[in-house]
Copies of this chain bind each other. A is one copy, B any other.
Amino acid sequence: MYLENIKNPSDIKSFSNDQLKALADEMRGLLIKKVSTHGGHFGPNLGMVETTIALHYVFDSPKDKMVYDVSHQTYCHKMLTGRAYGFLDENRYDDITGYSSPDESEHDFFTVGHTSTSISLASGLVKARELKKESGNVIAIIGDGSLGGGEALEGLNIATELDSNFIIVVNDNDMSIAENHGGLYGNLKLLRDTDGKAECNLFKAVGLDYVFVKNGNDINELIKAFKLVKDSKKPVVVHICTQKGMGYKPAQDDRETFHWTMPFDVETGKVLVNFDGENYETLTSDFLLEKMKNDDKIVAITAGTPAVMGFTLEKRKKAGKQFVDVGIAEETAVAMASGIAKGGAKPVFGVYSTFMQRTYDQISQDLCVNKNPATIVVFCASVYGMSDVTHVGFYDIPMISNIPGLVYLAPTSKEEYFAMLDWGMEQNKYPVAIRVPGNGVISSDRPVKNDYSDIDKYQIVEKGSRIAIIAVGSFFELGKQCACEIENKLGVKATLINPIYLTGLDCDLLNNLKENHDIVITLEDGVIDGGFGEKIARYYGKDSVKVLNYGLKKQFYDRYNIDDVLKENHLTTEQITNDIKNIL
């Protein structure tokens, strides 16, 4: 056991070749043990064991600064930089995050969870070093899958201009999360096939020096290459070829499934957690495939995350040309969707809320200014969604609901979601986004509309008086519970409203409420600032109706406990009922 004694990456500099190899075996064993019991990013880390060792053997972190793209491959780096406890000790698995984190270690420079950012971020470290006339290497480590994103390509283009030490390690495992898409992957293949000798070389074409490493899982070969570029005075790409999932056969054989995995049985490779029941991912792809049978014009789009709408390999094959993966390139996904809609076909772009952030301008300019009827389906925009600080998805309402022209719909049930999705695809007037409920698949026999073109018309679900509850999307159930609690505790039957639309006010309905309501409360599963409820508060600003907005405080949240967050934000039925009691 070496890792227990490695407190600092410099500790491995005295290791013999055999010791480095033994260390690699030990690290790989820990990866398999932790991820199989805890879940996490698996294939990318297995592939990067040797590279990480070689980097720390050759370079002097933290004086030499390593910036890992997207952080899917940082576990080994964490093991060697004082955080081995997060792998050695089962009780401390959660003491470290799954991502780069400067809060954890001086060897991490940025908190990163979105892809394609490493080169541009690292270029800033290079520039600062030059301005301050300091020394040291700056190393960006980026996977081939991340290269197709706009920010990465911008970074590659501008790196040359820095004209000083800047090492870009391209970890080419011939995979993104799923298979790669895009012309540049043909060039990576050509370079692999020619041992890096092909004249036509993307990296040289953008002015970068270039070094090829055929066996990126061979520590010696890597050490040789890194020594060669260490202290280089010019930007240089080190193109290393690695095996995703290296050392665990099921992960090598099924690289997509094992990119990130829930806990699994090491013997069989089978995931241990059983998901019973329905989920919106699978339901969405089933729905779309069914529609595709009768309509050649329907096309599902993903930006490198086909799982977001449940498009497994098998389903992608079934969809054929009616499924497009643009790679991790959300900007192009939205622009392409706009173009497809303009061309008279029916695009549906499925995206995690947190990654939708990467395409604000395309939603505004390419899509909404152009009024093209594309549909965006937004997943994990909910307090019940992903909870790592870089993946939290509930900032979406302020972000897109204030873009003119967009119709942002918040379904409250399975039936309503699919009615909206169908309408979004079949209408031809509006760019539409749909906020998939985050609180599980809830069926309801409440009647749902087929046509949502009466924009901004809210739905009164229960008629009451004095108190009106406007409960948005995933928080509609909370609204129902509040109505119950209020009736039980305060003896008032409240009006319950499903607003349906996040992008505008139903002024008639709000005006009518004034007649026999004193209090209007809004409940939204997102940050309050710039969100839905504030629009209601503005509407009643000069009236005597009191407005209470419930939602999440504007701040970054990280790996939170849902119940704690709900309580801190006064989002339990008891707290809300108490608030109302106090002002009634």
Contact = CB atoms under 8 A, between A and B. Distances in A.
Interface of A: 102, 109-114, 117, 120-133, 148-151, 153-161, 181-184, 186-187, 199-202, 204-208, 296-297, 299, 321-322, 324, 326-327, 329, 331-332, 335-345, 347, 357-358, 360-362, 364-366, 368-370, 389-390, 395, 398-399, 401-405, 527-531, 533-535, 537-538, 540-544, 546-549, 554-556, 583
A351 to B, nearest CB: 12
9 contacts: A117-B362, A120-B335, A121-B338, A128-B297, A131-B297, A131-B299, A160-B183, A160-B186, A402-B554
Given A338-B121, A341-B124, A345-B128, A183 B157 contact: yes
A81 to B, nearest CB: 17
A538 B528 contact: yes
A511 to B, nearest CB: 16
Contacts of A184: 157, 205-207
Given A132-B297, A365-B113, A534-B535, A339 B123 contact: yes
A124 B338 contact: yes
A402 B361 contact: no
Contacts of A547: 537-538, 541-542
A262 B544 CA distance: 52
A455 to B, nearest CB: 13
A154 B339 contact: no
Contact of A131 (B114, B199, B296, B358): B296
Given A395-B402, A541-B548, A154 B331 contact: yes
Nearest to A303: B154
B530 A538 contact: no
A285 B126 CA distance: 24
B542 A128 contact: no
Given A343-B127, A402-B399, A158 B183 contact: yes
Given A182-B161, A538-B528, A336 B123 contact: yes
A122 B329 CA distance: 15
A121 B372 CA distance: 11
B187 A206 contact: yes
Contacts of A155: 332, 335
Nearest to A343: B128
B124 A336 contact: yes
Q: Which 8 A-B pairs have the closest CB atoms?
A: A124-B339, A150-B150, A128-B343, A183-B207, A160-B183, A120-B335, A183-B206, A402-B530
Given A121-B338, A130-B321, A405-B556, 13 more contacts: A113-B365, A120-B331, A120-B336, A124-B336, A131-B297, A133-B296, A151-B331, A161-B183, A357-B361, A369-B556, A395-B402, A398-B402, A541-B548
